[in-house]
Structure formats: structure tokens, C-alpha cells
Homo-oligomer: A and B are copies of this chain.
Amino acid sequence: MGRKQSYTESELLDITKRLVLEHGYDGFHLKLLSQHLPGARSTIYQYYANKEEIVAACMKRVITSVIEKASAIDETSPMQALQELLTVYVEESELHQLLGDAHKINVKNSAAASRDLDFVKQAHTTLKVQLTRLFQKAQQEKNIREDIPLPVLVGGFSNLINTPNMINVPTPQWSKLLFQMWMGGAQR
């Protein structure tokens, strides 16, 4: 009946996420991964067929969690929703960075990786659609200035999550600060 697995798939992906963020896709080695897990390097192949699949699965898992949180948001009030959405994004701010390496994954080697990356792309689109929807609603409700093109405002909003939290405020307050700044501007 076989030996007990010494770690779960989920643990494997957790470590993968951390290491890919730390070292980038090309700096992420299976040797490195195995050093952060019990057991031998080759054991990893019991879980995934190759490096590509590991990272793809990791990306899929991360974006799935974001999608779940984002789709749970009540969109009745668009501005309120945007604030909540920003909090979700800030909480998972690595998402952006992580997915930035998606294009490096060589998909020819593995159907599974290919499928996972397709899912990621799909999910990405879903998020963009939600964002656009919220912005359009906000605009209809006259909450948003019109002298700046909408895509610029959307881009600015999305880009907020990359702002480094230099003052180490807890995430929810950090998200509020960012939203406040984005909304009201820097000028007195």
C-alpha cells in the first residue's frame, strides 16, 4: 500500500511560489526546491512530471484563489467594490510578479502545463473584465473624472499594488491608504 507521502502537493506549491518569487523562473531549480522539502530531488517527480508543470500548477493555484476572493465581492457600490478588490489584490500582490514569468514556461513539453497556463490566461481575463465592469459602473455613477482616459485610470489602479509598503502598515490599512491616494490625488 505504499509509503506515506512526506509532504502534500499543496506544501510543494507553497514552497514553489516562495522560491519563484525569490529567484524568478530561471533562478528556480528543482535542486533548490528539494532543499526546501524533505526527501530526494527525484521524489518531486512523483507529484509533477517536470519543472514546467510545477510552476504552471503553482500559478494556477494562486490565481484561482484570487478569482475566488474577487468574485465574492459585492459589486452593488462600484467604489466600495473597487476598494475591496484592491485589498484582495494587495493581499495577493505577488500574483502580478509571479505571472510575469508565465511566458518563460516552455509549454511544448507538457500538456498539463499548457492546460494550466490556459486556465491562468482565462482567469486573468475574467479579472480584467470585472475591473472594467466596475469602472464603467463607477463612471456611470459619475464617481470618476472624465478628463483622463479610462484605461489610464484602470492602469493606475492596477499598478497601485506594486507600491512598496515602506511604512509597514497592515495590509487592510495599506490598501485603504493606497485607495485614498489614488482617489484624491497627491495635491493638497
> Contact residues of A with B, CB < 8 Å?
23-27, 101, 104, 142-146, 148-149, 151-153, 155-157, 159-160, 162-167, 177-178, 180-188
- How many chain copies does the complex carry? 4
Q: Which residues of B contact A182 (CB under 8 A)?
A: 156, 185-186
Nearest CB of chain B from residue A95's CB, rounded to whole Å: 15
A24 CB contacts on chain B under 8 angstroms: 24-27, 101, 104
Decide if B162 touches A159 in the complex (CB within 8 Å): yes
Tell me the nearest residue of chain B to A82, going by C-beta: B186
Cα of A152 to Cα of B186 in the assembled complex, Å: 10
Q: B163–A156 contact, CB under 8 A?
A: yes
Q: Are B181 and A148 closer than 8 Å at their CB atoms?
A: yes
CB-nearest residue of chain B to A151: B166
Chain B residues positioned under 8 Å from A177 (CB to CB): 148-149, 152
B27:A180 contact, CB within 8 angstroms: no
Min distance, Cβ A152 to any Cβ of chain B, angstroms: 5
In the complex, the chain B residue whose C-beta lies closest to that of A180 is B148
From B25, B178, B188, contact of A146 by CB (8 A):
B188
* Among candidates B27, B143, B145, B178, residue contacting A156 with C-beta atoms closer than 8 Å: B178
Given A24-B26, A143-B188, A149-B177, 15 more pairs with CB closer than 8 A: A25-B27, A26-B26, A145-B184, A145-B186, A145-B187, A148-B177, A148-B181, A148-B186, A152-B166, A152-B178, A153-B186, A155-B165, A156-B178, A183-B185, A185-B185
Known contacts A142-B188, A177-B148, A186-B145; is-contact A163 B155 (Cβ 8 Å):
yes
**In the assembly, what is the distance between CA of A180 and CA of B148, in Å?**
8
Cα A188 to Cα B163 with chains together (Å): 23
The CA-CA distance from A125 to B160 in the complex, in Å, is: 23
Task: List the B side residues contacting A184 at CB < 8 Å.
Answer: 145, 185, 187
